[in-house]
Structure 1
């Protein structure tokens, strides 16, 4: 009981929200409180002036006025101040104490006036106390402890004083005020309870709003953050690019966009597992973040693709140098639990203004620079330039002409023989596409094949060329094979493979006479789909040749998992084969690998008799190159004769 009473008569310091609400509500009531107190006191002083001693009508009320005025001014000038919880508690407690003191002071002063004057003046004292205290209590309703203290200090003595005065009117008045006091205390408790409930509801609402905002912020963060690397994702990167473009145009500052694609990441995933692949991506993010101090904003755009925003001095030379630093950092080994993985990063950069003024344009130009880096300068940075813009325009003309081309009329094939160096006999022809455009003239295969891939018409072109190649093969002896190349997109297109199988079936050519050549790069882009399509071809009896072997990033496990019948050694290993011991060792390794997995090994790029002799000494037999013949039209294929000095006598190896 005692503890409950103590709690009722105390400031609830353990409820910060309630304390702040009490202080804010009471602050609004302070002017009214002191207005009632002073005006009622002035009125009582006037009615007793001359009847009561001067100290009761001048000095004592003057002191009470001064205290009231001081407190009113103090509250007025601090009404907009924000208080800490501790300061608010201290302010309420001082109000509680001062309420008790002022209540006791005004009550004692007014009762001391009672003996002076007539019955009307005595009635005024009773009216003053009851009226003033009731009004003040209502002003203190937000401070339950202060209101109850004032009730006990003033109305308690008032009831006793007038109830025992012997005057029936005053006795009735005292009884009436006592009953009103009980009702008022009940109202006070009810109001305070509802006030506390309101504050709790507001607190709960605020907490729910805060939680809702937190969840919204978290959702926004997750929607704009890559969960693996903790870098911004594509959405945030695009928004940041738009913002920085607007800022750069407004302030006249520089800006550039960089796109990074990791070279050799898929073999890491397949060799070491996706766990190591994820760790590698995380470390790539850390290495890119290390450049943030140089004004870079890195992001992961998806898969093994990253983006960078360069600000400030974005000149081509500085960007290229910084890009090379980034590529060098990405090329450092990645070591996880004793396992070492290696990848490189190709970087394409476009500069705001020089490459374009919109986000889409910068992305497109950076992507083109990245394409050039991966095709020609893998693991390095390429900054988009005016020359590249001219190349894009030229590619646009080529793509436009390619879309309008009549493949049947404009496309034709030439054939390069593959020779058995032991017999000088031709065992196969490789079909190579040529385009003679009525608008552009002769267009290089390396140009129009890439253009066909970029425009999405490579499948239709491949179907036309396959049809022409099969028709040509019908004029050759049955022992001569036909070799046809598939592009990167062809290998991973189920629709194209379906169409090619149908064309082969209709041609009447035995599928066993046909070889399909695919490159390492084409297979590695989507190994699962490429391997499935290659198996479908192999199941029909078609031979599968892996072209440009040794220049890609595939692992030997991929070679083992494909139904290969031939491996073609890239010409880059042949240039100095007659003089370079390392080149001979690499070729010998590939030859032995081919033999061990049951594949025919074909060497490309033969141009000299010395190269032929060196390769024969390494056990190579099947060859192709300008030394034997350049690509020729169909009518010249049957008239081919190998060079008279092709056959090279190689001493027999010693055994035992």
Structure 2
């Protein structure tokens, strides 16, 4: 029991003496503190020792006053140099633990050497010199305690060894007074030690607080780094297209704004090119989004490889990109060659390969551009022109376009008029069965006579109506007027009416059409809704939904301008068509040796095989009609038979009967493009 108690007490004492020296942070702090204090400790000890040597020079042997001090000094200098060298290094925890063991050994050796030397001088000299020896011992002990207090184990060993040697020496020598001094010195050292122990605890607390603060600071810095990384990631996501990695529209607008301001201040040229990938939307609808994405990534890869250093590229819409060039007027001097090279290599599709086409609009910074928005609007405006011109897919904004934009702005404002319904009217062009010279239907065409602008061609105001969001209203107004006129038609006459991309993609619009038919008592089977491939591909999913809803009520569906889109045959199979209308571009000047001849022949055969009707548009001459008849054409439409008629003129025609022979129109009547007269 007693042995266990003693063992526990010794263990507890050892733990108390060792303190927190096992803690890596505390051990490092002790190491650094002792390294700083050790030179001072040795210097104070040497000062006291050499002071004794000087005062004992005449009474003590030279071995004690010179030889031993020199040896002790050499040892002390070696220790000081070693410590100084270590102060420049940051040891590992294992090296610090090894140093602690070494320090504990030196805590025995150093006081032993110093004490033996000092006490060897005690017998020489009188009382004053003996008091000097005792005084030197007392000061050395205090210096030891103060210098080593932050390493409690070493301080105790030093104090114990030094005071024990002094006490034993004086006790053996029979010096009772000095023995008392030694005992008092031991007591004083212990008292000073326990007082200074409070500083030791403060030292430990400071180390821990510093460690906690450092850890907290590191955690805070880590959180800040994580926050910064998250912020950077969010910024990247907000400013880049997730699929291609290119800057997105938001990032592009910021770059455009900065480049615009910089160019205005420096006078540097600034050019913007907005281009569109033709056919990408069709590829998405036919082959799926994954194929479309792969094509898009391939285009982006090629694009990045061709970019000049002064160019900035961004994806600003699904198949629309923007190229910004700063400081180089010639950057877009040969855009056609740039894009021809970009798309020279075919893109691989699941069943074939194809070359993508493109349309590009370019705008340069000049005095007419007052803001970054103006520059972008100019580029986008001429991009729309380039899309319509298949022979010249690049358009550059110029003075002519400025005038057109002003004109379009006036048209847009006039379309918002409250009297627009009264200003709109409809005209009708007959569809003729050439085998019997009989009118089988009429196509409704839009007309607008504005009190401010005069007669505005449909090819001008219909696209503007789509862009400014009033096309649905105009379509319903025109359909209402057509149905009103149809009240007086023969009961079996069909009405062909054009629907736009916006009409097909607007939820609820189909129901408005059906409500109109019901209110006029018009049989749905007599209505043929004409749609173009472009309008269907604009939003194939919504267009298909609208078309199916129309078909369910008995309304017929015609695909207008057939053969001018991206993949007509696939649309014929995908859409529930009742009729295809062959575009007039294949009919103009048709002869057996022309490309149009083979195309029309193939389309007529296709319609017969599928059991659907086929109307050939744009017939203007007897020669064209003769060739079409030889191919087996049954229904045609064109100026050879009749120009678009007003409601009254159409009514007078019906009073004469449903027949209409060729040559009704005089030869000096100018032909017009039928597609430019569609009501959307």
| TM bin (shorter chain) | 0.7 to 0.9
Q: Does the Cα contact within 8 Å between 1:269 and 1:276 map onto a contact in 2?
A: yes
Deviation at 1:91, TM superposition (A): 11
Q: 2:181 matched to which residue of 1? A: 169
Separation in structure 2 between the aligned mates of residue 338 and residue 179 of structure 1, nearest angstrom: 97
Q: 1:233 matched to which residue of 2? A: 248
Q: Does the Cα contact within 8 Å between 2:38 and 2:83 map onto a contact in 1?
A: no
Q: 2:662 matched to which residue of 1? A: 643
Say yes or no: does 1:584 pair with 2:597: yes
Cα distance change of structure 1 residues 91 and 278 upon mapping to structure 2, 3 Å threshold: same
1:221 is paired with a residue whose SS is helix
Q: Does the Cα contact within 8 Å between 2:115 and 2:166 map onto a contact in 1?
A: no
In the TM superposition, 1:98-137 aligns within 5 A as: 108=113, 112-114=117-119, 115=121, 118-137=129-148
Cα distance change of structure 1 residues 211 and 487 upon mapping to structure 2, 3 Å threshold: closer
In the TM superposition, 1:199-598 aligns within 5 A as: 203=218, 206-313=221-328, 315=329, 318-322=331-335, 324-326=337-339, 328-330=341-343, 332-335=345-348, 339-340=352-353, 342-353=355-366, 356=369, 358-377=371-390, 380-404=393-417, 406-598=419-611
Cα distance change of structure 1 residues 200 and 457 upon mapping to structure 2, 3 Å threshold: closer
Q: 1:158 matched to which residue of 2? A: 162
Separation in structure 2 between the aligned mates of residue 323 and residue 125 of structure 1, nearest angstrom: 99
1:399 is paired with a residue whose SS is helix
Separation in structure 2 between the aligned mates of residue 247 and residue 320 of structure 1, nearest angstrom: 22
Q: Does the Cα contact within 8 Å between 2:115 and 2:165 map onto a contact in 1?
A: no
1:515 is paired with a residue whose SS is strand
Deviation at 1:247, TM superposition (A): 4.0
Q: 1:654 matched to which residue of 2? A: none
Deviation at 1:339, TM superposition (A): 5.0
Provide the aligned C-alpha RMSD in A. Answer: 4.4
Deviation at 1:522, TM superposition (A): 0.7
Cα distance change of structure 1 residues 534 and 66 upon mapping to structure 2, 3 Å threshold: same
Cα distance change of structure 1 residues 134 and 152 upon mapping to structure 2, 3 Å threshold: closer
Q: 2:672 matched to which residue of 1? A: none
Cα distance change of structure 1 residues 492 and 211 upon mapping to structure 2, 3 Å threshold: closer
Q: Any idea what the Cα deviations from partners look like across 1:523-565, whole Å, max 9, x if unmatched?
A: 1111121122222223333222111111112453332232322
Q: Does the Cα contact within 8 Å between 1:355 and 1:362 map onto a contact in 2?
A: no
Cα distance change of structure 1 residues 235 and 121 upon mapping to structure 2, 3 Å threshold: farther
2:643 is paired with a residue whose SS is coil
2:514 is paired with a residue whose SS is helix
In the TM superposition, 1:64-79 aligns within 5 A as: none
Say yes or no: does 1:617 pair with 2:636: no
Separation in structure 2 between the aligned mates of residue 149 and residue 323 of structure 1, nearest angstrom: 86
Cα distance change of structure 1 residues 154 and 389 upon mapping to structure 2, 3 Å threshold: farther
Q: Does the Cα contact within 8 Å between 2:530 and 2:557 map onto a contact in 1?
A: yes
Q: Any idea what the Cα deviations from partners look like across 1:164-223, whole Å, max 9, x if unmatched?
A: 232243245346646876995985878767766665565555545444444443344334
Deviation at 1:572, TM superposition (A): 1.0
Q: Does the Cα contact within 8 Å between 2:53 and 2:66 map onto a contact in 1?
A: no
Q: Any idea what the Cα deviations from partners look like across 1:414-436, whole Å, max 9, x if unmatched?
A: 22221111122222221211212
Separation in structure 1 between the aligned mates of residue 160 and residue 458 of structure 2, nearest angstrom: 110
Q: Any idea what the Cα deviations from partners look like across 1:368-399, whole Å, max 9, x if unmatched?
A: 23222223348933333333222211111111
Q: Does the Cα contact within 8 Å between 1:327 and 1:380 map onto a contact in 2?
A: no
* TM-score, normalising length: structure 2: 0.77
Q: Does the Cα contact within 8 Å between 2:525 and 2:554 map onto a contact in 1?
A: yes
Q: Does the Cα contact within 8 Å between 1:162 and 1:174 map onto a contact in 2?
A: no
1:121 is paired with a residue whose SS is helix
1:319 is paired with a residue whose SS is coil
Cα distance change of structure 1 residues 355 and 50 upon mapping to structure 2, 3 Å threshold: farther
Separation in structure 1 between the aligned mates of residue 573 and residue 638 of structure 2, nearest angstrom: 27
Q: Does the Cα contact within 8 Å between 2:408 and 2:464 map onto a contact in 1?
A: yes
Aligned length: 620
| Bigger mean CA offset, 203-212 vs 412-421 | 203-212
Deviation at 1:506, TM superposition (A): 1.6
1:422 is paired with a residue whose SS is coil
Deviation at 1:625, TM superposition (A): 1.3
Deviation at 1:449, TM superposition (A): 0.9
Structure 2: state its 5+ residue gaps: 1-10, 58-64, 123-127, 172-178, 654-659, 666-680
2:55 to 35, 50, 53: 50
Structure 1: state its 5+ residue gaps: 142-146, 647-656
Q: Does the Cα contact within 8 Å between 2:270 and 2:364 map onto a contact in 1?
A: yes
Cα distance change of structure 1 residues 66 and 328 upon mapping to structure 2, 3 Å threshold: same
Cα distance change of structure 1 residues 191 and 448 upon mapping to structure 2, 3 Å threshold: closer
Q: Does the Cα contact within 8 Å between 1:546 and 1:564 map onto a contact in 2?
A: yes
Separation in structure 1 between the aligned mates of residue 492 and residue 386 of structure 2, nearest angstrom: 42
Q: Does the Cα contact within 8 Å between 2:104 and 2:154 map onto a contact in 1?
A: yes
| Bigger mean CA offset, 350-359 vs 228-237 | 350-359
Deviation at 1:508, TM superposition (A): 2.9
Q: Any idea what the Cα deviations from partners look like across 1:47-96, whole Å, max 9, x if unmatched?
A: 77534546788997699689969987997xx8xxxx9x78x899989998
Q: Any idea what the Cα deviations from partners look like across 1:446-504, whole Å, max 9, x if unmatched?
A: 11111211221111111111122122223333333222222221222234333222222
Cα distance change of structure 1 residues 337 and 417 upon mapping to structure 2, 3 Å threshold: closer
Cα distance change of structure 1 residues 271 and 534 upon mapping to structure 2, 3 Å threshold: closer
Separation in structure 2 between the aligned mates of residue 28 and residue 307 of structure 1, nearest angstrom: 65
Separation in structure 1 between the aligned mates of residue 315 and residue 527 of structure 2, nearest angstrom: 43
| Bigger mean CA offset, 376-385 vs 582-591 | 376-385
Cα distance change of structure 1 residues 400 and 27 upon mapping to structure 2, 3 Å threshold: farther
**Structure exhibiting the larger radius of gyration computed from Cα positions:** 2
Cα distance change of structure 1 residues 356 and 611 upon mapping to structure 2, 3 Å threshold: same
